[in-house]
Amino acid sequence: MADDYLDSRLTERRNPRSHTIDTASALEIVDLIGAEDATVPAAVALARSEIASVIELTEAAFRAGGRLLYVGAGTSGRLGVLDAAECPPTFGTPPEMVVGIIAGGYAALVRSVEGAEDDMNAGIAEMDARGVGAHDLVVGIAASGTTPFVGAALSRAQTSGARTALVSCSQPPKLLRDTCDVCVTVLVGPEIVTGSTRMKAGTATKLVLNTITTGAMIRMGKIYGNLMVDLRAWNEKLVDRSQRIVMETTGLARGEARSVIEAADGQVKTAIVMARRGVSRTEAERLLGEHAGRLREVVGDPPPVATV
C-alpha cells in the first residue's frame, strides 16, 4: 500500500504546522516550538482524574510500606529516574521509596543503549530483581504507549501482585490498558520534529510525574501549608531555606532557628514542633508519630503568606 509508512501512534505522526520548519529562521523556530509547547498543560489537564487516581495509589503504597517504581526507556526512563532522584532532597524520603528504572541501566542515562527498549526479558528481570510485590506501585512511562521493556515490566508487576499504571502520550494497545489499574494518556499530538518525544511528550510526562510525587508527598504530610518541611539540607541553599522555614513558622530569630534545627538533628519538621510546643526532640517525634507526620495537626495552622 502507498500509505504503509503511516504510523497509528500519535507520537509518530507528522505535524502539519511544522512541515516547513527546516526553512525557518531562528526566531520562527522559537515561535513554532513555543506555540506547540503552549498546548501541553491543557492536554495534561484533560487527564486530571487519572493523575489523581495515581496519586491515591501512590499514597496507598507508601502507607503500606511499599514503593513507587518508575519504569521507562530513553527519554521516558530518564524522566522517571530524574523524578525519583529529586524526592530525597525535596521530601526527605529514603532513596528506596521512589525508584527510577531505565532500560539499559545506568549507562542509558547519558547515552542511548541500542535495543534496550525492546528487551522484554530485561523488563521482567528488573521486576524480579527489585522484589516487586503487593505493596508496590509500578508506573510505566512510554510516550508511544508501546515500549516492550515497559509492557513486560508492567505485566510482571501485575502478576506479582503490585498495582500498576501507565503514563503515555499515545493510546496504548488494549493488552497494556488491561494490564494497568490506571492509564494516564496525555494526547499532546505530533511533535514539531516527527517522533522526537523528548519535546512535547517529554514536557507532558515531566508535568505528570511532578504532580504524582508532589501530590502523594503532600498527602503523606510532608508539606506544611506549602512549605517543604521534610527537606534534606544538603547544600547551603537548603540550609538557608531550612532556617527561614523555621523562622517563619515559629517567630524565632535566625540564630535561634539554627540552634533548634541542630537540636532536632537537622529535621525541620521536628524543630518546628520543638519550638512551637516547647518540648524535647523525643516528645516532638512522638507527637509527629501519633499524627502520621502531619504538622498542622500537632502545632495548628501555618502563618499566612507574607506579602512584600
Residues pairing with 101 in the sheet: 71
- Which residue, 100, 105, 109, is CA-closest to 69? 100
Domains of the chain: 41-219 (3.40.50.10490), 236-299 (1.10.8.1080)
Least confident of 109-113, 116-120, 209-213, 248-252: 109-113
Average pLDDT, the chain: 92
Q: pLDDT > 70: what percent of the chain?
A: 97
pLDDT digits (tens, 9 = 90+) for 179-192: 899 999 999 988 88
Q: Tell me what pLDDT residue 3 has.
A: 60
Asked if residue 230 lies in contact with residue 92, where contact means CB atoms within 8 angstroms, the answer is yes
- pLDDT tops 70 at residue 246: yes
Q: Is residue 50 annotated as part of the catalytic site, yes or no?
A: no
Confidence class for position 49, pLDDT limits 50, 70, 90: very high
Q: Which residues are bridge partners to 153 per DSSP? A: none
Find the range with the poorest average confidence among 4-8, 9-13, 76-80: 4-8
Higher pLDDT, 12 or 296: 296
pLDDT (0 to 100) of residue 22: 84
What confidence score (pLDDT) does residue 5 get? Answer: 56
Angle (deg, nearest 10), helices 148-159 and 120-129 = 40
Residue 294 — pLDDT band, cuts 50, 70, 90? very high
User: What is the model's pLDDT at position 287?
Assistant: 97
Select which of 36, 50, 59, 117 is catalytic.
117
DSSP 8-state symbol, 110: T
- Return the pLDDT at 196: 82
Does residue 112 or residue 294 have the better pLDDT? 294
CB under 8 Å to 35, separation ≥6 — which residues? 17
Q: Which of 86, 248, 256, 283 is catalytic?
A: 86
pLDDT value of residue 2: 52
- The answer to whether the CB of 36 falls within 8 A of the CB of 17 is yes
241, 268 contact by CB (below 8 A): no
Mean pLDDT of 139-151: 94
C-alpha cell at 283: 516528645
Grid cell locating 109: 542515562
What φ, ψ does residue 8 adopt, rounded to 5°?
-75, -20
Residues contacting 218, CB < 8 A, separation 6+: none
Determine the average pLDDT of the residues in 31-41: 95
Mean pLDDT of 157-164: 97
**DSSP secondary structure of 32-54:** HHHHHHTTHHHHHHTTHHHHHHH
Q: Is 256 an annotated catalytic residue?
A: no
Is a pLDDT exceeding 80 seen at residue 121? yes
Asked whether the predicted pLDDT for residue 89 surpasses 80, the reply is yes
**Per-residue confidence at 1, pLDDT binned at 50, 70, 90?**
very low
Return the DSSP state at 302: P
The pLDDT of residue 98:
98
Vertex 260 angle, CA 254 and 263, to 5° = 145
